[in-house]
Structure 1
Amino acid sequence: MSFILPQEIGYLIFIGGGLIMTVLVLLLIFVDTKWLGTRKTYEWFSTAGRNIKSGLLASSIISAWIWAATLLESSTVAYKYGIGGPFWYAAGASIQLILFAVIALELKKRAPFSHTFTEFLYLRLGKFGHKVFLLFALLANFIVTAMLVLGGAVALNTLTGIDITIACFVIPLSIMIYTYFGGLKATFFADYLNTSLIFAVILVLVTSIYFFNPQIGGITGLFESLQLASVINPVEGNSGGSFLTLASIGALIFGIINIIGNFGTVFVGQAFWQRAIASRPKSLIKGFFIGGLVWFAIPFVLATSIGLAGIALHLDLSSSEVSHGLVAPITISTLLGEVGAILILTMLFTAVTCAGSAELVAFSSLFTFDVYRTYFKPSASGRQLMRVSKYSVLAFGFGIGFLSLSLFSMGLNLQYIYLSMGILIGSAVGPISLSLIWKKTNKTSASLSALFGLLAGIFVWFFSAYTLYGDISVSSTSHDIPLLLGNLTSFITGFAFVILGSLIKPDNFNFNITKQRIVVVDERVRSLIKEDNDETLLKKRTLFGYKYGIIFTLVLVIIWPLPLFFSGYVFSFDFFLFWILLSIIWTVAAACFLIFKPLIESKREISTVLSNLAILLRSKVIFRTNRGMLLSSPHSTVNSTLENSTGTNYKRILVAVDGSMPSIRALDYATHFFKSDSIIYALYVIEWSDDSEENTEYDTELLKRVEKEGRLILSSILIKNSRRCERIVKVGDPANRIIKTAHDLNVDIIVLGMRGLGHAGDFGHITRKILSKSNKPVLLLN
């Protein structure tokens, strides 16, 4: 069998791409920690410091929701059902993100310090309920990751010939490296890079299909080819057998299955709870709403173009190729040759690494908090939690390769797993949601309803397959009707029994318990959470979420598609043209927002990084003394720096002290070098997250304690020569506080050690920032 690409290209994209992504992410982490002052704690690893804004949150949500199935299965349903397939894929997997935002905000209100949703359920439902929903969460985790790896492995094998066994281990390897080092914060960085790349590739592919490919003949040629295909090979259950209609029984059945299954993977998947926990409450609703609407564009435009192009080309695909999700790679390769194959593999790589990394961190959090800390070592320190998290990333990464290979050996393909996942985890959606929003939810009925719903869903699935097709096998259980009945039974039963049990024997749970008993290791993060937990703000956001969540849901799954379904309308050319142009415009707008919104929100951090880079690259005016060097700041003149270098004209001197030897020498030097009638301000800054734009207010009790520690450190430093010296303690970002204090005190010069505690380079990142932003002369001492 000949393959479109050599194996070397496949390895280059997945292994080489993984290494490149790792280098980029590690570079971004270096910048974040060294120049932006972020500290690597366990909260940083597992929750990204809980300070993610809406633009980056939306980007990360999209990334976690771009599975291999998003690129492969969506094109398959377009190939099978026509234009209705990708619409129901897009609409049926967008509304969950929008509705989930409201439930996630309830978690912020009920348990603001939680790291996982099951950590909350441990207190809400007890040990039995915790174990039940932990199993569902892990099951969702395994299903999603197995789909990612299996879909990518089969496509990689089809295009390059790389053995599926090898591919099932190569793909997790490309994800594990940067996740191991960077945790959730690395995932957010990688998500932005990967989703931006995916949208760029999508626009290239779509533009090529609709406007530049002679085999398709533009939008007009595609429309005519679809009309011809509808006559030659009409679709059973579609209005007039046409591919150009939303009046499709098959597409509607798929849409219902898709909606139920994706409720399970979002509401039961820790990857999405992780992102909600990492975000600021005021960013959560906006980020998820935007994420859902932007993600809608991907299957809407990509699957429509690729799936319909596959029909227009009259590709002779086997049922096995269709069920394994190979419509997209084969169609793109037929249209664009090797270039198309490389593009689709690149998209698959980014999709697998994005969502795969999210699932790795999700498993790591579940295992660390809900297994290790809950049942083995409740007193574990942040360092121990970090170590367990990293080891669990490696264990899960290697283990998922074996799981994916086992599923493939059993004959389970991407389509089968995707359509059956709602049966396996859909019954947990109702109990989880009601446990968060309804204090009367009975903990026993919540746990049992999830289990009973699972068993009932499987029973109906198998029984209907046996009744309709005569046996229970992979083949019989993969048909639409058994899958539909199994999904509906599991989902509805989970809701019905928890409601019934809670009405018969209601609980009266006090949610203050979950607020008080879940703790955060990092006290700075605890302070930030307390500041964000404004009940008035949360109430407004919740009402906004319920209102517009319902509106968006009604528009996407009822108001838009159902009139077209019940009318039996077959698209005219004008309406088809409008539909295609709408999908392209939606995608362009989504891409622009996705790329530029996070950059706009991070303009201050970007400015800081660029300033530090400028310091590294540009030449500096340096006047050396016998023990130090005087650097002019960007706003100082060279002449004034040189004229004042003797120290005779400096009356007010600010010396930054952090306890390091260079800072102690700087203070000692200042007491000797400057005139005796000058004033020395010894400043000690306790490093803390500093967000002046947000008017951050710190935890008062904690603030008093750390200020007291700072005064003790300063009082232990002796000032020679009986100089007039004032000791000052500040809390916040060291560079910002030094610059602001120098300005407030109107000092003549700032004196610093060249390096602070633990820094081995020529200059510390705090020093670089001060040189970049301060308009005061700065004297550096070795």
Structure 2
Amino acid sequence: MSLFSIAFWGFLFVYGGILWFLSPKVKSFDGFFKASDEKGREVNVWLLSTSIFISWIFAKSVTNAANLGEKYGIVGGVAYAAYWLCIPVAGIILYRLRTKYNATGLVSFLNSNYGKFASFCFSIAILIRLFNEVWSNTSVVGGYYGESGSMSFIIAALLFTFITLIYSLKGGLRGSVITDIVQAVIFVIGVGFVLTFVLPKYSVGEIVSTGEWSLVGGVDLLLVALLQIFSYPFHDPVLTDRGFLCSPKRMLISFIIAGLTGFMAIFIFSFIGVYAGFEGINGSNIPASVAGSMGLAALFLMNIVMISAAGSTLDSTFASVSKLIAHDWIKIINPNLLSKSVIIGMISMVIIAVVGNFPMFFGIDILKATTISGTMVIGMAPIFLLHGVVKINKLSFYLSFFFGLFCGFIEVFGLFPKALYIGSGDSAGLLGVNLYGLIGCFILYFLGAYIAKLRS
């Protein structure tokens, strides 16, 4: 084994050891599920902003940003960065739900307003999202150690999963928030070094002038993102769980800061993809291809960036699965088991770590983990945006939620009529189903309220 291989694999163990050491050992209910410190204090703005920022900089996200930068130029980078506008949008909506309707969590909020079945349907949607977060991030890390499906790819992905699981079991959500600081620092420094390989050759002016601002040039994907930002954040508990960790005002400030910095980070990272376009570098993993073309040092730095990005999301995913099953579900189904929540939460982490890696073996396109799941939950937009605007009723929830789910499925199976496509770009169908689907969800939400009014 070469010195480089030793360093490459060794970093995984060093990374895991550092985060294990820094992650606090948490046994309390509030620490494990609400990220409170040992004295019961809630997270502050700085800590929460950093945690949201790095937790949403998924390994698949930076890979997608670079891939789209290579495909569409800077238009692709802007299109994917637009998803980070979800964060301030979510912050504003959560602020309203918390201050005006006393929401303490989304699952409990839906349960109290729309019933157990509504909260169960929502829970399944976010559980699917969390499932996707496991394989899509471990696959990115595995891709730096070998070709998809190869032994080195699988070993690296599973080893990375195990390392992340170990310190997640130790610290719960508190550990996830604390280790996010280290991961954010590693990510920012790593990206800075990687960009030093790119920017000296091509100026910022040259990079931002690339691409074509048209539907066929990637604007269709940008419009998809702008349509989904009103629903997309609510099926991601990695984000929304952090909306209830401190006072509404602190939360809102943190979400705005994290959203703006996240947008800029993804936009800047897409420069790597634009560079690849200039250099004629292509492939399914542009960051790895670009780094490989620059030498072993650049490849090693890119690996560090991806591991830190993937790790911050994966440990947050484990914490969110734990909270969903051992806190939110138990609180509704059998509150008497709350005393055992931490143990049940740890068991759920182990299960999702194993099951969540199954799709990794089949080489599924990681972009689909974002766009398709985002379509399936467009029905959540009117439910959270219009809550209280019309009389609260279960029918509005079900009509909007299931129509959104239906739109997602017809997109997955390619059943959306081509006559309704918008433009002729690669995302023409996706844009069509999101636009017409979102309009349909709002109409059905109001229809449900009207029917409920007639019944009463």
Q: In structure 2, how many angstroms separate the alpha carbons of the residues matched to 1:277 and 1:499?
A: 28
Q: Which of residues 330, 333, 336 is equivalent to 1:379?
A: 336
In structure 2, the gaps of 5 or more residues are 420-424
Q: In structure 2, how many angstroms separate the alpha carbons of the residues matched to 1:506 and 1:106?
A: 25
Q: Which of residues 398, 406, 415 is equivalent to 2:354?
A: 398
Q: Which of residues 84, 87, 93 is equivalent to 2:78?
A: 87
Residues 200-279 of structure 1: pairs in structure 2 closer than 5 A: 200-211=189-200, 216=201, 218-219=202-203, 223=206, 243-247=210-214, 249-261=216-228, 263-279=230-246
Contact kept in structure 2, 1:462 and 1:482, CA below 8 Å: no
Contact kept in structure 2, 1:53 and 1:280, CA below 8 Å: no
| 2:65 is equivalent to residue 74 of structure 1 | yes
Q: In structure 2, how many angstroms separate the alpha carbons of the residues matched to 1:255 and 1:261?
A: 10
Matched residue SS, 1:426: coil
Q: Which of residues 492, 497, 506 is equivalent to 2:439?
A: 492
Cα-Cα RMSD: 3.0
Once the two structures are superposed, what CA deviation does each residue of 1:180-236 show, in whole Å capped at 9, x if it has no partner? 11111111111111112211111222233213xxxx3x429x94xx89xxxxxxxxx
Higher relative helix content: 2
How many positions carry a matched residue from both structures?
A: 446
C-alpha displacement at 1:100, in angstroms? 0.7
| 2:45 is equivalent to residue 54 of structure 1 | yes
Q: Which of residues 135, 142, 153 is equivalent to 1:146?
A: 135
Once the two structures are superposed, what CA deviation does each residue of 1:88-121 show, in whole Å capped at 9, x if it has no partner? 222x11221111111111332356573x311221
| 2:96 is equivalent to residue 106 of structure 1 | yes
What is residue 737 of structure 1 aligned with on the other side?
A: none
Q: In structure 1, how many angstroms separate the alpha carbons of the residues matched to 2:150 and 2:335?
A: 48
C-alpha displacement at 1:439, in angstroms? 6.0
C-alpha displacement at 1:479, in angstroms? 4.3
Once the two structures are superposed, what CA deviation does each residue of 1:452-484 show, in whole Å capped at 9, x if it has no partner? 22113423664556758xxxxxxxxx9422222
What is residue 767 of structure 1 aligned with on the other side?
A: none
Given the two structures, how large is their TM-score scaled by the length of structure 2? 0.88
Q: Which of residues 279, 298, 313 is equivalent to 2:279?
A: 313
Matched residue SS, 1:97: helix
1:180 corresponds to which letter in structure 2? L
| 2:286 is equivalent to residue 331 of structure 1 | no
Residues 666-685 of structure 1: pairs in structure 2 closer than 5 A: none
What is residue 605 of structure 1 aligned with on the other side?
A: none
Q: In structure 1, how many angstroms separate the alpha carbons of the residues matched to 2:8 and 2:228?
A: 31
C-alpha displacement at 1:125, in angstroms? 0.5
Q: Which of residues 309, 321, 335 is equivalent to 1:351?
A: 309
Q: In structure 2, how many angstroms separate the alpha carbons of the residues matched to 1:463 and 1:314?
A: 31
| 2:442 is equivalent to residue 483 of structure 1 | no
2:22 corresponds to which letter in structure 1? L
2:288 corresponds to which letter in structure 1? P
- Bigger relative contact order, structure 1 or 2 (CA pairs below 8 A, ≥6 apart): 2
What is residue 458 of structure 1 aligned with on the other side?
A: 409
What is residue 122 of structure 2 aligned with on the other side?
A: 133
Matched residue SS, 2:218: helix
Identity of aligned residues (%): 20
- Between 1:54-63 and 1:103-112, the stretch displaced more is 103-112
1:277 corresponds to which letter in structure 2? F
| 2:257 is equivalent to residue 290 of structure 1 | yes
C-alpha displacement at 1:442, in angstroms? 1.9
Once the two structures are superposed, what CA deviation does each residue of 1:115-152 show, in whole Å capped at 9, x if it has no partner? x3112211111122121111112122222333222233
1:341 corresponds to which letter in structure 2? L
What is residue 419 of structure 1 aligned with on the other side?
A: 371
Q: In structure 2, how many angstroms separate the alpha carbons of the residues matched to 1:135 and 1:416?
A: 18
C-alpha change, 1:244 and 1:273, in structure 2 (3 Å) is closer
Q: In structure 1, how many angstroms separate the alpha carbons of the residues matched to 2:304 and 2:135?
A: 19
Q: In structure 1, how many angstroms separate the alpha carbons of the residues matched to 2:335 and 2:237?
A: 21
| 2:142 is equivalent to residue 183 of structure 1 | no
| 2:449 is equivalent to residue 502 of structure 1 | yes
Contact kept in structure 2, 1:168 and 1:402, CA below 8 Å: no
Contact kept in structure 2, 1:423 and 1:454, CA below 8 Å: yes
What is residue 422 of structure 2 aligned with on the other side?
A: none
C-alpha change, 1:493 and 1:122, in structure 2 (3 Å) is same
C-alpha change, 1:151 and 1:258, in structure 2 (3 Å) is farther
Q: In structure 2, how many angstroms separate the alpha carbons of the residues matched to 1:246 and 1:205?
A: 27
Contact kept in structure 2, 1:268 and 1:425, CA below 8 Å: yes
Matched residue SS, 1:505: helix
Q: In structure 2, how many angstroms separate the alpha carbons of the residues matched to 1:460 and 1:193?
A: 39
Residues 426-445 of structure 1: pairs in structure 2 closer than 5 A: 426-435=378-387, 437-438=388-389, 440-445=391-396
What is residue 22 of structure 2 aligned with on the other side?
A: 24
Contact kept in structure 2, 1:4 and 1:333, CA below 8 Å: no
Q: In structure 2, how many angstroms separate the alpha carbons of the residues matched to 1:140 and 1:348?
A: 20
Q: In structure 2, how many angstroms separate the alpha carbons of the residues matched to 1:184 and 1:144?
A: 16
Once the two structures are superposed, what CA deviation does each residue of 1:372-430 show, in whole Å capped at 9, x if it has no partner? 3322x322343x1111112211221222122433xxx2x52112333322222232333
Given the two structures, how large is their TM-score scaled by the length of structure 1? 0.53
C-alpha displacement at 1:368, in angstroms? 1.1
C-alpha change, 1:389 and 1:420, in structure 2 (3 Å) is same
Q: In structure 1, how many angstroms separate the alpha carbons of the residues matched to 2:249 and 2:162?
A: 36
Contact kept in structure 1, 2:390 and 2:449, CA below 8 Å: no
Matched residue SS, 1:72: helix
C-alpha displacement at 1:357, in angstroms? 1.2
In structure 1, the gaps of 5 or more residues are 30-38, 228-241, 469-477, 508-782
What is residue 344 of structure 2 aligned with on the other side?
A: 388
Q: Which of residues 71, 77, 96 is equivalent to 2:86?
A: 96
Matched residue SS, 1:163: helix
C-alpha change, 1:84 and 1:64, in structure 2 (3 Å) is same
Once the two structures are superposed, what CA deviation does each residue of 1:159-190 show, in whole Å capped at 9, x if it has no partner? 99753333342222121111111111111111
Contact kept in structure 1, 2:375 and 2:405, CA below 8 Å: yes
Contact kept in structure 2, 1:461 and 1:485, CA below 8 Å: no
Contact kept in structure 2, 1:72 and 1:328, CA below 8 Å: yes
- Between 1:11-20 and 1:295-304, the stretch displaced more is 11-20
| Greater gyration radius | 1
Contact kept in structure 1, 2:65 and 2:80, CA below 8 Å: yes
C-alpha change, 1:434 and 1:247, in structure 2 (3 Å) is same
